[in-house]
């Protein structure tokens, strides 16, 4: 594939949306000749819409979710990822574009790696193994690292919270992301997301420009 795939990851409230917009405008400025595709998971496809509806329900409303519900959620995220790959990511990469995705398969490993604890052994690895044969690995994954307490503080000022925005849950997700990044240091670039937005954006941009110069 001729293009480059860059993904942005981090817990809720880590600032991915702001950083994605910042990177997009800087890339358009510095590389006007390159096609840029900005995309996200969950997508707006069928599975993505079902997931967003489910995610908008506050956590704990119906008690602890059953194993069936947790598995259903995992495989909906996987179906949405497969849709994202075939409808957007692979065609864009084949056309030579820079693809910037706000969340990607690593979110599934990190988040559903928490919801499946106690159901399968080593859930993060289990989830990664299921998607490895058909996934497209990003050229670079930017992980915005932020303490879950600070992230929740930011989220409190936003309307419409989703069910995963609870401290204990986000602490486990944060741990999963950090372990995943430590295991693949050549792909992950970790950025301290407690800094002001411009510094975070510039650090991400520096890493991306280094990657694009190599390609
Ligand atoms: P998102 O729309 O990125 O929310 P935010 O902009 O607040 O980060 O994602 C919605 C929620 O879905 C978020 O809590 C993370 C969760 N999620 C998963 O649990 N698994 C996944 O595979 C993805 C892509 C998202």
Could you tell me the two tokens for 54? 């489910």
Q: Is 104 in the pocket of ligand 1 (CB under 6 A)?
A: no
Q: How far apart are CA 74 and CA 111, in angstroms?
A: 9
The rounded distance, in Å, linking the Cα atoms of 52 and 40 is: 12
Mutate to test the pocket of ligand 1, among 7, 8, 11, 12 (most ligand atoms within 8 A of CB): 12
169 lines ligand 1 (CB under 6 A): no
Phi, psi of 136 (to 5 degrees): -110, 120
What pLDDT, in 10s, does the model give residues 193-214?
999 999 999 999 999 999 999 8
Ligand 1 atom showing the smallest separation from residue 14 Cα: 8
Phi, psi of 180 (to 5 degrees): -60, -40
Q: What is the pLDDT of residues 30-68, one digit of tens each?
A: 999 999 999 999 999 999 999 999 998 876 566 789 999
CATH number belonging to domain 4-214:
3.40.50.300
Which residues contact residue 109 at a Cβ distance below 8 angstroms, ignoring those fewer than 6 apart? Answer: 124, 127, 128, 176, 180
Per residue in 119-163, pLDDT tens?
Answer: 999 999 999 999 999 999 999 999 999 999 999 999 998 877 787
- Minimal-distance CA residue to ligand 1 atom 3: 103
């Amino acid at each position: 594939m001729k293009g480059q795939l860059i993904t942005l990851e981090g817990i809720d409230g880590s600032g991915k949306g702001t950083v994605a917009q910042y990177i997009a405008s800087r890339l358009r400025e510095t590389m006007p000749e390159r096609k840029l595709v900005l995309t996200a998971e969950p997508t707006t496809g069928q599975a993505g819409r079902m997931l967003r509806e489910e995610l908008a329900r506050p956590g704990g409303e119906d008690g602890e979710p059953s194993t069936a519900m947790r598995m259903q959620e995992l495989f909906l995220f996987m179906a949405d990822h497969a849709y994202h790959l075939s409808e957007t990511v692979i065609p864009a990469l084949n056309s030579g574009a820079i693809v910037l995705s706000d969340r990607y398969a690593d979110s599934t490993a990190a988040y559903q790696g928490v919801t499946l604890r106690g159901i399968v052994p080593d859930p993060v690895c289990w989830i990664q193994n299921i998607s490895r044969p058909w996934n497209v690995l990003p050229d670079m994954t930017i992980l915005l690292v932020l303490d879950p307490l600070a992230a929740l503080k930011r989220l409190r000022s936003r309307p419409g919270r989703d069910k995963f925005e609870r401290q204990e849950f986000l602490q486990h997700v944060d741990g999963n992301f950090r372990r995943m990044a430590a295991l693949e240091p050549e792909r992950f670039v970790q950025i301290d997301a407690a800094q002001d937005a411009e510094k975070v954006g510039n650090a991400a941009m520096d890493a991306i420009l280094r990657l694009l110069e190599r390609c």
